[in-house]
Amino acid sequence: MKNRFKIWQFLLLIWIITLLIRFELLINTYDLIFSWLILLISDLDTALSQISFDLLDSMIAGILFIVIPLLSIIYRKKLGFLYGKVFPAAIFLILLITCFLFAPLISNKNPDFYKNIGITKLLPPLSSVQVLHFKNDQNFQPSESFEKFLFLKDKVVKKSFDESIQYLDSISTGGKIIYYQNGIGKEANRESLLLRVKDPFITKQMFILGSDQFGRDVLTRLIYGARISLMVGFGSVIISLIIGLTFGFLAGYGGGLPDAVFSRFTDMLLSFPIIFLVVLILALFGNSLLSVIVVLGFSSWMSLFKVVKTEVLSIKEKNYFVSSKLLGLSKKQLLFNEVLPVIIVPIIVNVIFQFGNVIIAESALSYLGLGLGNNYPSWGSMIQSGQEYLSLAWWMIFSPGITLIFTLLSANSFGISLSRKLNPRLQND
């Protein structure tokens, strides 16, 4: 039974679970996209001025939620891995990529959301807090299309603040409604509260992985932190792939002087601890998402360079390569048609290990405070802030730490199993 569980079934499971849990949000998201499109036609300037990162993020996640399953059904013949068996590393990587793409759908809060720090700070995992709901304009019926758009945007895009709720310790509802926060009682006006029959509407909110020193939900921050790690990982791996491939091909194909120059340059970079170089460049040129990606990409192409160079050196002597060169193929054609298909396996394996290394480097940078700053949650910076509260809140270091370890473990084991699967020599054994 266990062996029959395929990857596409797992993906479908995730899709259905997300659909069921976030049904209302999804409907609102599509409504939002629709009303934005109407706005785009009727009033272009207003529609464009409303665009923010969070809005785009939610809308793209909503679209991808439909488009990706459709595309994978249409192209299922080409996506052979969908029929592969599920293994732990694949499960973890799929979950990470889901977090990466659909973070606004999966999490129900803004990662920077905090309220009533006195009550919600440093809560242990699985603890829940009572929430008192105040009236907001729920029953407001928008008439104009722009008003409707704003109303939906308010519902879909998560904000880092919320005026309509209060976290509380306890509440007394006899006659006057008094809610207690940190031992101080406050009276709430019955008119302003959201009522269920006669009692005030109180829900419980659970912090599954606890909360940090500002009362922010650790799980939400973990989900959003996956985005940074994967984004930096993908981005810098692509950069290092381009550089390593080009330099390696030029050095191996050219031989002589280009080889000497590129090899000396690689030796120089290798003899310098990469983290020092990265830290130095980030300090000199400032740290943003783009600079972190570029710097890590530029500092991790050396092993790929060596792999490509040695492979090209051996391919250069082969008859088929010489004949296609004599046929007059350009360097670009030689690289993409003759060399790349032969060396794709070592490259893919190298790239996957590189991916793990880059994620380590990014989290180390965030830990040192040189990552993306405090603007965006990152696993490394979560561990850094957790270290200050080590004696009070162990969950603040353990949840990001263990997620980081699992990510790297699954990347490594994915690389190993892929290299086994793709290597024809090992398959024959």
Partner 1 sequence: MRSTIARLLIKRIFSSIIILFLIITFLFFLVRISPGDPVQKFVNPTLSPKLAEQVRESLNLDKPIHMQYIGFLTSAISGDLGVSYNFRRDVSSVILEYLPFTLLFTSVSFIFQMIVSFWLSIKSVKKINGLFDRALSNITLLIYATPVFVTGVFLVFIFSELLNIFPSSGLSSYDSADFSFWARLTDYIYHLILPIITLSLIEIAIFYKYLRDNLEDVYNKLFVLNLRASGVSEKDILLKHVIPNAINPLITIAGIELGIMLGGTLIVEVVFGLPGMGRLIIEAIFTRDYPLVIGCSLVVSFLIIFSNFLADIIKAFLDKRLLTGSLN
Verify binding: residue 391, partner 1, rule CB under 8 A: yes
What is the C-alpha separation between 308 and 302, in angstroms, rounded?
A: 10
405 forms part of the interface with partner 1 (CB under 8 A): yes
267 touches partner 1 (CB under 8 A): yes
Q: How many CB atoms are located within 10 Å of the residue 397 CB?
A: 18
| Window 342 to 381, contacts with partner 1 (CB under 8 A) | 356, 360, 363-364, 367-370, 380
Cβ count near 183 (within 10 Å): 8
Contact between 265 and partner 1 (CB under 8 A)? yes
How far is 222 from 58, CA to CA, in rounded Å? 18
Segment interacting with partner 1 (CB under 8 A) among 33-41, 98-106, 152-160, 406-414: 406-414
Closest CB to partner 1 among residues 102, 379:
379
Q: Is 252 in the site for partner 1 (CB under 8 A)?
A: no
Q: Which stretch binds partner 1 (CB under 8 A): 10-18, 129-137, 197-205, 396-404?
A: 396-404
> Which residue's CB is nearer to partner 1, number 145 or number 263?
263
Q: How far is the CB of 383 from partner 1 (least distance, A)?
A: 6
Is residue 171 near partner 1 by the rule CB under 8 A?
Answer: no
- Binding segment for partner 1 among 81-89, 152-160, 187-195, 260-268 (CB under 8 A)? 260-268
* Span of 66-74, 163-171, 284-292, 299-307 interacting with partner 1 by CB under 8 A: 284-292
Instruction: Determine if 243 is a binding residue for partner 1 (CB under 8 A).
Output: no
Among candidates 160, 161, 176, 164, which has minimal Cα distance to 132?
164
Mention every residue, 6+ apart, whose C-beta is less than 8 A from residue 68: 101
Which residues have a Cβ under 8 Å from the Cβ of 368 and sit 6 or more positions away? Answer: 279, 380, 384
Classify residue 231 by burial, with Cβ atoms within 10 Å: 0-12, 13-18, 19+.
Answer: middle
Task: Report the nearest approach of partner 1 to the CB of residue 307 (Å).
Answer: 16
Q: Annotate 124-136 with DSSP letters as a single string.
A: PTTEEEEEEEBP-
297 lies in the binding site for partner 1 (CB under 8 A): no
Within a 10 A sphere around the Cβ of 221, how many other Cβ atoms? 27
201 lies in the binding site for partner 1 (CB under 8 A): no
Least separation in angstroms between residue 364's CB and partner 1 is: 6
Distance between CA 411 and CA 88 in Å, rounded? 11
Q: What's the CA gap between 150 and 375, in Å, rounded?
A: 25
Spatial contact of 279 and 333, defined as CB atoms under 8 Å apart: no
Angle formed by the axes of helices 289-298 and 274-285, to 10°? Answer: 150
Instruction: Confirm or reject binding of residue 279 to partner 1 (CB under 8 A).
Output: yes
Q: Write down the least CB distance from residue 1 to partner 1, Å.
A: 26
Span from 54-62, 144-152, 279-287, 291-299 in contact with partner 1 (CB under 8 A) = 279-287
Give the relative orientation of helices 340-368 and 274-285 as an angle to the nearest 10 degrees: 70
For position 94 contacting partner 1 by CB under 8 A, the verdict is no
Min dist. Cβ of residue 343 to partner 1 (A):
24
Q: Is 290 in the site for partner 1 (CB under 8 A)?
A: no
Out of 35, 338, 397, 415, the residue judged to bind partner 1 by CB under 8 A: 397
264 lines the binding site for partner 1 (CB under 8 A) = yes
Burial of 378 (0-12, 13-18, 19+ CB in 10 A): buried
Contact of 210 with 124, CB cutoff 8 Å:
yes
Closest by CA position to 365, among listed 280, 300, 298: 280
Distance CA 165, CA 115 (A): 9
By CB under 8 A, is residue 230 in contact with partner 1?
no
The nearest distance, CB 291 to partner 1, in angstroms, is: 12
Select 303 or 423, whichever has its Cβ closest to partner 1: 303
Least separation in angstroms between CB 371 and partner 1: 12
Which of 41, 197, 284, 290 is close enough to bind partner 1 by CB under 8 A?
Answer: 284
Please report, as ranges, the residues that interact with partner 1 according to CB under 8 A.
264-265, 267-268, 270-277, 279-281, 283-286, 356, 360, 363-364, 367-370, 380, 383, 386-387, 390-391, 394, 397-398, 401, 404-405, 408-409, 412-413
